[in-house]
A and B are shown apart, each in its own frame.
Chain A
Amino acid sequence: MKQILAILAITAASLWAGPQDIHFPASLDALAGKAEEVVDITLDADMLGFAGAFMSDQDRDEKTAKDLVKTLKGVYIRSYQFKEEGQYSPDDLDEVRSQLKKPEWVPVVNVRSKTGGDNAQIYFKKENGKISGITILAAEPTELTIVHIVGSIDPADVAKLGGNFGIPNMSMGPAEEDGEQ
């Protein structure tokens, strides 16, 4: 009987968990109370497909999004905008980071500011030589964002994200002199 209950519990948990392979810790919910603005997006494959059906081929952003979501199984985002600095602790991301220590997760970008500026880490999940997920942890003094995308993504598709959605085109080439530096 106990075995049956255990199997049922595992099945229920796996059904509830869905394709999301990085789980957001409950401590993030506490941040929502402190944040001035919260973005909480949970889109599974069904919802992505459903949303894709309503996207136009004529609009550039929608066309890009439509092509991208075809191969995705889930998009999960938590973003918190705070009024003041110090409203969250870097430890709030520890539970997420610990899940990214699994061998299939490869850190591709790790920007850490020693002066309290922007910190950003991008991880790719590699399976059979292909990227099957992306996780982005971005921490700014008054903003904390976690992006978790599940599904097969071509790096070229990631580059496509820049240049659309009103954002300048992304190029990971050599550093260029610009006004921000």
Chain B
Amino acid sequence: MSRFDDELREALKRVDPPDGFSERVLARVAEERAKPSLIERFRRALWAPRMRWAAVGALSLAILAGVQHQRAVEQRARGEQAKEQVLLALRITAEQIQTAERGVRKLNASW
């Protein structure tokens, strides 16, 4: 037998795993399985008290901004409507003054 054969036999010799190896492997597998998935970790992070309050705050701000914007739009519409009413009122007043003036002129002309 050559020296090479001996070395090969030695290298391929059956070696028993150290004590408790399979238990450690199984425990590691179970541990990996027990780890939450990425989605689960994100969901948990989202429901963490701090994140929950931050989300509630952001949502409240968005609602408040929307309400404020809607109010501003309504306020503008009411203001424009009030302005049109004032202009119409003054136009009617001016017309009636003109009517009275025409009447006075007619009277003056007839004297």
* Residue A39, interface by CB 8 Å: yes
Given A109-B100, A170-B101, is A165 in contact with B87 using a C-beta cutoff of 8 Å?
yes
What's the interface size class on A, roughly? 35 or more
Chain B residues at the A interface, C-beta cutoff of 8 Å: 76, 78-80, 82-83, 85-109
Task: Please tell me if the beta carbons of B88 and A109 are within 8 angstroms of each other in the complex.
Answer: no
Task: Please tell me if the beta carbons of B91 and A69 are within 8 angstroms of each other in the complex.
Answer: no
* Residue A48, interface by CB 8 Å: yes
Known: A47-B82, A136-B93, A181-B106. 18 other contacts (CB 8 A): A41-B89, A51-B85, A54-B76, A54-B80, A61-B87, A64-B90, A75-B90, A121-B100, A136-B100, A147-B93, A158-B97, A161-B90, A161-B93, A175-B106, A175-B108, A175-B109, A180-B102, A181-B109
Some 23 contacts from A to B, beta carbons below 8 A apart, are A47-B82, A47-B85, A50-B78, A51-B83, A54-B76, A54-B79, A62-B87, A77-B93, A109-B103, A111-B100, A111-B106, A120-B103, A136-B96, A138-B99, A149-B93, A161-B90, A162-B98, A167-B91, A167-B95, A168-B98, A172-B104, A180-B106, A181-B109
Task: Please tell me if the beta carbons of A54 and B88 are within 8 angstroms of each other in the complex.
Answer: no
Main secondary structure of the interface of A (DSSP, over half): mixed
Given A111-B104, A167-B91, A176-B105, is A120 in contact with B86 using a C-beta cutoff of 8 Å?
no
Cβ of A171: which chain B residues have Cβ within 8 Å of it?
101
Task: Please tell me if the beta carbons of B96 and A138 are within 8 angstroms of each other in the complex.
Answer: yes
